[in-house]
Structure 1
Amino acid sequence: MQQPQTSSSRWGPNLLAILLGLAGLAAAGGGLWLALLGGSWYYLPAGLAMLGTAWLLWHRRPSALPLHALLVLATLAWALWEAGLDWWPLAARGGAIFILGALLLIPPVTRALAVPEGARQPSPARGGGLALSAALALALLAGGAALFNDPHRIEGRLREARLPLPPAPRAIPDGEWHAYGRTGLGQRYSPLDQITPRNVGSLEVAWHYRTGDTPGQPGDPEETTFQVTPLKIGDRLHLCTPHQNVIALEADTGREVWRYQPRVRDGLALQHLTCRGLSYHDPAAYPPAATPPAPEAVRPAAENSAATSISLPDAAEGARRVESCARKLFMPTADGRLIALDPETGGVCTSFGESGQINLWANMPHPKPGGYYSTSPVVVTRHLVIIGGTVLDNVSTREPSGVIRAFDVNTGGLVWNWDPGDPEQTEPLPPGRTYTPNSPNSWSISSVDEALGLVYVPMGNQPPDQWGASRDEDAARYSSSVVALELATGRVRWVFQTVHHDLWDYDVPAQPSLLDLAIGGSRVPALVQPTKQG
């Protein structure tokens, strides 16, 4: 006796058939286009198989189950051939097929296929269900093996005989740390050798220091973090806190020597609040024989405020003023400024920029307090201070520009600007014009090789991360890339993209490390770049 069909047994299979049909159309159509472009042929037959399964399911044919079982097995074989036991590539290729197969085994579907309308004997759906279950179990087994497998791990040992490090562009005593990566090369290598794997366990705490700067203050975003890498200059440590307090400590005792606390504009709509470090400039550290000609500032620092509608506090308010600083510390602030300080006294270097600071909102489109700021230390060369910044992410497509700017390290005048949305125009913009809105930005730390005359900029994705429909050719080219810019002009020397058409927030998140490799008996300059992809 035939069982009456319930509402779920009628509509459940129909909805799943529609879903399979839409997925099949998308896979077959996109697969045909991909095949014509010279890509994989898998998606076209896979899409046709899903369309076949959808038709069979709509007409309550039990053969829908073994057909999808064949698709699962074919997909598994293709995915293993292309990706091996690598979880994420494997899941990306077969995850949707697996989920659709699991939906085909839910009771409303199997009941609808078990006794087709008008039939008087059991249908072969039971056998098809077993075949699909077995195929899914095999795919699940492969996925489980991939989840606990690391195909990217390489077992091996580094050769003890290494090339000597290339000379630093400026003299740095062994016991000092003058930049985020110790030097602009980003190598993070200290030549000190007193601490070894054998005696490191015997170290004892010499002193500790509390900054007094804690998260949870009014207006703090949820991501308020302490990420600073202190600088060791002479007998002092210099560090900054999340709220941009700059502190100098005696390295031997931890005693506070001075503290600079800027007044930061209120009402900032921040997503992150941190200060990853300071940047240091000492002109006396550069050897005279290696002096390249200084590029000329095209736009005086006094014109910065005229190029923006956002007014910012005075950097020297309530602080010591130093008219002329032989050496400088540079710190970006959360409200969009770059401030220069005297490392000896903590005073503001008023001859730099406009009374000691640069207003980074100059020529910025869509100005909104907190919508643009730099969380990372700037790049400092003999003649330039180079800065990028972050913008509010995943909020809109009307954000400030991701422009990279180079200022004269002594005067603060703008020397060049590289806008990823207008990469050929590096001459400083006059007041009244703005950079390209929403262009890819660089929120991480850049590296510099002054001997080669290049700065290496790790680029983020164009916001919003998961929306790629509005990206033009330039945004598509420079998103999630490492870009080499000429120090003299700001022009692009080369670009290497780590992810094409990035929709997954794969910003290049770390400072590049510049080193020399021994290849074929020659010393070859190389760049090593960590990414979010491991």
Structure 2
Amino acid sequence: MSQEIKASARAPIAVLLLSLIIAAGGIFLTVFGARLVSLGGSFYFVLTGLALVATAGLLARRNALGLWLYVATFVATVIWSLFDAGLNFWPLVSRLAAPGVILMLVFLAAPTLTRGRTLPTSLALTGAGLSALALLAMGVRVFQPVPFITNDVTPEKIAEGGELNGNWPHYGGSLKGTRYTGKSSITPENVAQLELAWTFRHGHLPVHGHAAGAEDQNTPTVIDGIVYTCNTKSQLFALDADTGEQLWKFDPEAKAPFWERCRGVGYYESNGQPSPELQRVKREAAGFTTTATFTVSDDSAPATPAPVVPEGLCAKRVVLPTIDARIIQLDAKTGELCPQFGTNGQIDLKEHMGEVKPAFYMPTSAPTIADGIIIQGGWVVDNVTTNVPPGVIRGFDAETGELIWAWDLGRPETKRFPPEGESYTRGTPNAWAGLAVDQDLGYVYLPLGNATPDFFGGHRRPFDDEFNASVVALDYHTGEYKWHFRTMNHDIWDYDLPSQPALYDLPDGKGGVQKALVQLTKRGQIFVLDRETGRPIFDVEEKAVPQGAVEGDWTAATQPYSTGMPTIGAERLTEAKMWGATPFDALMCRIEFLSYDYEGDFTPPSEKGAIMWPGFAGGMNWGSASIQEETGYLVFTESRAAHVIKMVGREEADKADAKDSHAGLSSQFGTPWGAAKWYLMSPLGVPCQEPPFGTMTAIDLKTQQVAWQMPLGTVEHMGPLNIPTRLPIPIGMPGTGGAVTTQSGLVFYGGTMDKYIRAFDLKTGQEVWKHEVPVGIQATPSVYVSPKTGREYVVVTAGGTRTSQERGDYVMAFALPQ
């Protein structure tokens, strides 16, 4: 009897506590719901808030009307949710999970309500049980990785895949940039047996934070049983491919105040002679002529002395880019500097560039080397000032380091060096991403950025706008311009081309092939061009876009859309698509959304603040695409997070941190406006738009249709307020780095925000293997076969993700059991 009395006494306290919780939620929804209505938004939240306040008052007085009012409110919430979100799972979770928990608690409280007509205990417990079962079913479902687009058709073989002979000699696997490896012994049937073969730690932890900008994004280069990997300090390590044992290390003692990264290195096999192109250039400079085939036939011309190559030294060379804008050549076997190259093994990329402040120019992507020519672009600091280094593209002799050609788009008559006493044209669009090469055509393809700063273009010159966000084809022997295709008109959104082009011979259905170039963009648009002419293979249309810009700038009337290919992750935002883990942060996201300018794609940056979707981090980014060459499946990942861009006047912009060019307030010196930038996030630190926040997609290039699309990654090592949930919920998270496809039908990827490297079935997109790593991965894996053991490996670097403070120094290789 005593226990029953105590329980009876506790019941009103529990109901009072429940009513206080409901009242607090109701007040929140009423106050901020009214704010939403004032912005032209939904009435649901303010009406629901008032109903909750009334419910709380009735429950506090133990009035059964509180039960019925809440049940009616919940039913109305279900109806509104279905009308607002349809049958989409994650939007319904946001709208119904928290109200469902309250419904269960209200049913449990029903037997204690003494005023009015309440439910019998048995029915109340039944209602609570059904609510709990529904919540349990929802809870089980959140752990299921459900594809957004499914595929059960076996991909048709339409071509022969290329082979890499067990090596991974270039950043994109091959010069074509397809990130594909042929004759793989790791298959969908045995990949589950994949295990960690070895781990190497190089000893340097990248510094966390945007200002420091140190991020491990290295894809190892693998040649003849040696793995070459570089870290954010441009230190280079040679490792045994079977054991991970360090063979040698080279430290260039490079320094940069921010934006430290090394995505890869190049490789060159010496023949002891300068390239025919360098010989041609020298002969022409001396007044002699040569033929178009670059052969030397005039015996009266002064001979170019061949470099003296010490026996056994630098026959095979690793080409290292550094964060202080040098290119260094090292003996691939010993790690010693190659004295034949440049000055004691190195050249200074800052020559003829004018003033180059530390970290204002550097080659963040791997050098591209073809036919003895190093083709080098570079990253130029964004959003700090207009007076930045040139975006010139140059070709250097891989044997001697001497300049062969330069392509300066602001001064096209320049073929090699700028006029005496001058520099290449400063502030031109640059190529910071990887380059691709068609050796049959003799073309190199450049994905160009923009003339900085990114968010104001009133100062730009005609050639800046002509070439911004363009794919450019040059003759890589001479630097001669061939064609360009512009993916943006007057870009003031930082939609520069971030991805290495991928080259693929697509069967035309008539017994021939179309020489295609596939270019991913941050916008979610995928352009497929004829790589000989630059003309679109699949339809591109100019469409009208919103107009208006801050004083001194202008917007283009139209923008190009690749209508012949699917658009990924760029569906127009609406208030209904604003999301949160609960109705409360979803409400705040709706208020945020309606507080800024948004007219769809290309809403111009404004003083009020404009929503940019997709954000300037992508969409697709530097991870680039992979093409499974036998089937023509284009595989890539993309991130989904909107940005807000707010233009600020000169006086306020002058307070900006000149280093923080990708987040916060950027100075944009030399223009009337600075730019403040931030992600459109809920108060819990979750992207405001509904999930997924990242996907992996496969497009069948022969049909131009999405074959499958899967959510990418879980919140296991992430969560609200940046607190890891420890729950492997596959909601789909933003990713970096790229995917690798294999002839056997696998896709390897590691760039998720959780700490895993994964394998997916190329046919279905289903995950077939994963392995947890100590810290997150940003880099693209590479795949190789050991010449000593014949064992196939997947190797990846793990240094930590951008959003996590955890940092590491790992290089990890995986293989099937011996």
Question: TM-score, normalised to structure 1's length?
Answer: 0.63
Q: Distance between the aligned counterparts of 1:394 and 1:144, measured in 2? A: 42
Aligned pairs for 1:500-511 (under 5 A) are 500-511=489-500
Structure 2 residue 243 is matched with structure 1 residue 243: no
Which of the numbers 482, 485, 502 marks the counterpart of 1:513? 502
The equivalent of 1:164 in structure 2 is 160
Distance 1:162 1:295, change over 3 A: farther
1:167-208 CA-partner distances (Å, limit 9, x unpaired): x7xxx5x21111111211111111132101111111111111
The equivalent of 2:479 in structure 1 is 490
Q: Distance between the aligned counterparts of 1:369 and 1:292, measured in 2? A: 32
Q: Distance between the aligned counterparts of 1:415 and 1:423, measured in 2? A: 15
Give, as a single letter, the amino acid of the residue that structure 2 aligns with 1:517: L
The answer on whether the counterparts of 1:248 and 1:257 sit within 8 Å (CA) in structure 2 is: yes
Structure 2 residue 233 is matched with structure 1 residue 233: no
Structure 2 residue 355 is matched with structure 1 residue 359: no
Q: Which runs of 5+ in 2 are unaligned?
A: 1-36, 43-79, 92-147, 284-309, 525-818
Ranges of 4+ aligned residues in structure 1 off by more than 6 Å: 142-145, 152-156
The answer on whether the counterparts of 1:230 and 1:239 sit within 8 Å (CA) in structure 2 is: yes
Give, as a single letter, the amino acid of the residue that structure 1 aligns with 2:262: C
1:121-176 CA-partner distances (Å, limit 9, x unpaired): xxxxxxxxxxxxxxxx9xx959999x97xxx979785742221146x7xxx5x211
The answer on whether the counterparts of 1:220 and 1:273 sit within 8 Å (CA) in structure 2 is: no
The equivalent of 2:520 in structure 1 is 530
3-state secondary structure, aligned to 1:386: strand
Q: Distance between the aligned counterparts of 2:425 and 2:467, measured in 1? A: 13
Structure 2 residue 165 is matched with structure 1 residue 182: no
The equivalent of 1:264 in structure 2 is 254
Deviation at 1:404, TM superposition (A): 0.4
Q: Distance between the aligned counterparts of 2:335 and 2:216, measured in 1? A: 21
Q: Distance between the aligned counterparts of 2:157 and 2:461, measured in 1? A: 47
The answer on whether the counterparts of 1:405 and 1:416 sit within 8 Å (CA) in structure 2 is: yes
Q: Distance between the aligned counterparts of 2:218 and 2:87, measured in 1? A: 39
Give, as a single letter, the amino acid of the residue that structure 2 aligns with 1:294: E
Q: Distance between the aligned counterparts of 2:422 and 2:400, measured in 1? A: 22
Which of the numbers 272, 282, 289 marks the counterpart of 2:269? 282
Distance 1:143 1:373, change over 3 A: farther
The answer on whether the counterparts of 2:375 and 2:476 sit within 8 Å (CA) in structure 1 is: no
Q: Distance between the aligned counterparts of 2:352 and 2:482, measured in 1? A: 25
The equivalent of 1:303 in structure 2 is none
RMSD: 3.7
Distance 1:154 1:293, change over 3 A: farther
The equivalent of 2:729 in structure 1 is none
3-state secondary structure, aligned to 2:516: strand
1:374-415 CA-partner distances (Å, limit 9, x unpaired): 111011011210111111110011111111010111111111
Distance 1:339 1:451, change over 3 A: same
3-state secondary structure, aligned to 1:358: strand
Give, as a single letter, the amino acid of the residue that structure 1 aligns with 2:383: N
3-state secondary structure, aligned to 2:451: coil
The answer on whether the counterparts of 2:275 and 2:372 sit within 8 Å (CA) in structure 1 is: no
Give, as a single letter, the amino acid of the residue that structure 1 aligns with 2:180: Y
Distance 1:353 1:197, change over 3 A: same
Q: Distance between the aligned counterparts of 1:250 and 1:530, measured in 2? A: 34
Which of the numbers 194, 202, 205 marks the counterpart of 2:196? 205
Q: Distance between the aligned counterparts of 1:412 and 1:199, measured in 2? A: 46
More helix by share: 1
Deviation at 1:498, TM superposition (A): 1.6
3-state secondary structure, aligned to 1:175: coil
The answer on whether the counterparts of 1:415 and 1:428 sit within 8 Å (CA) in structure 2 is: no
Give, as a single letter, the amino acid of the residue that structure 1 aligns with 2:226: R
Q: Distance between the aligned counterparts of 1:194 and 1:424, measured in 2? A: 51
Question: TM-score, normalised to structure 2's length?
Answer: 0.42
Give, as a single letter, the amino acid of the residue that structure 1 aligns with 2:267: Y
Deviation at 1:293, TM superposition (A): 4.7
Which of the numbers 336, 341, 345 marks the counterpart of 2:325? 336
Q: Distance between the aligned counterparts of 1:156 and 1:503, measured in 2? A: 42
The answer on whether the counterparts of 2:352 and 2:417 sit within 8 Å (CA) in structure 1 is: no
Distance 1:143 1:405, change over 3 A: farther
Distance 1:255 1:367, change over 3 A: same
Distance 1:247 1:292, change over 3 A: closer
Q: Distance between the aligned counterparts of 2:415 and 2:153, measured in 1? A: 45
3-state secondary structure, aligned to 1:476: helix
Q: Distance between the aligned counterparts of 1:428 and 1:322, measured in 2? A: 34
Structure 2 residue 205 is matched with structure 1 residue 214: yes
The answer on whether the counterparts of 2:326 and 2:347 sit within 8 Å (CA) in structure 1 is: yes
Q: Distance between the aligned counterparts of 1:445 and 1:252, measured in 2? A: 28
3-state secondary structure, aligned to 2:200: coil
The answer on whether the counterparts of 2:442 and 2:477 sit within 8 Å (CA) in structure 1 is: yes
Deviation at 1:431, TM superposition (A): 4.8
Q: Which runs of 5+ in 1 are unaligned?
A: 1-97, 104-136, 285-290, 301-320
Structure 2 residue 370 is matched with structure 1 residue 381: yes
Identity of aligned residues (%): 39
Aligned pairs for 1:6-45 (under 5 A) are none
Q: Distance between the aligned counterparts of 1:412 and 1:459, measured in 2? A: 24
3-state secondary structure, aligned to 1:488: coil
The answer on whether the counterparts of 2:212 and 2:257 sit within 8 Å (CA) in structure 1 is: no
3-state secondary structure, aligned to 1:331: strand
The answer on whether the counterparts of 2:161 and 2:182 sit within 8 Å (CA) in structure 1 is: no
Structure 2 residue 426 is matched with structure 1 residue 437: yes
Q: Distance between the aligned counterparts of 1:158 and 1:472, measured in 2? A: 50
3-state secondary structure, aligned to 1:349: coil
Deviation at 1:355, TM superposition (A): 1.4
Q: Distance between the aligned counterparts of 2:324 and 2:186, measured in 1? A: 41
Deviation at 1:420, TM superposition (A): 2.6
The answer on whether the counterparts of 1:379 and 1:446 sit within 8 Å (CA) in structure 2 is: yes
Q: Distance between the aligned counterparts of 2:210 and 2:491, measured in 1? A: 30
- Name which structure has the greater RCO, CA cutoff 8 Å, separation 6+: 2
Structure 2 residue 385 is matched with structure 1 residue 396: yes
More strand by share: 2
Deviates more, 1:208-217 or 1:413-422: 208-217
Aligned pairs for 1:283-322 (under 5 A) are 283=270, 293-296=276-279, 298=281
Distance 1:240 1:297, change over 3 A: farther
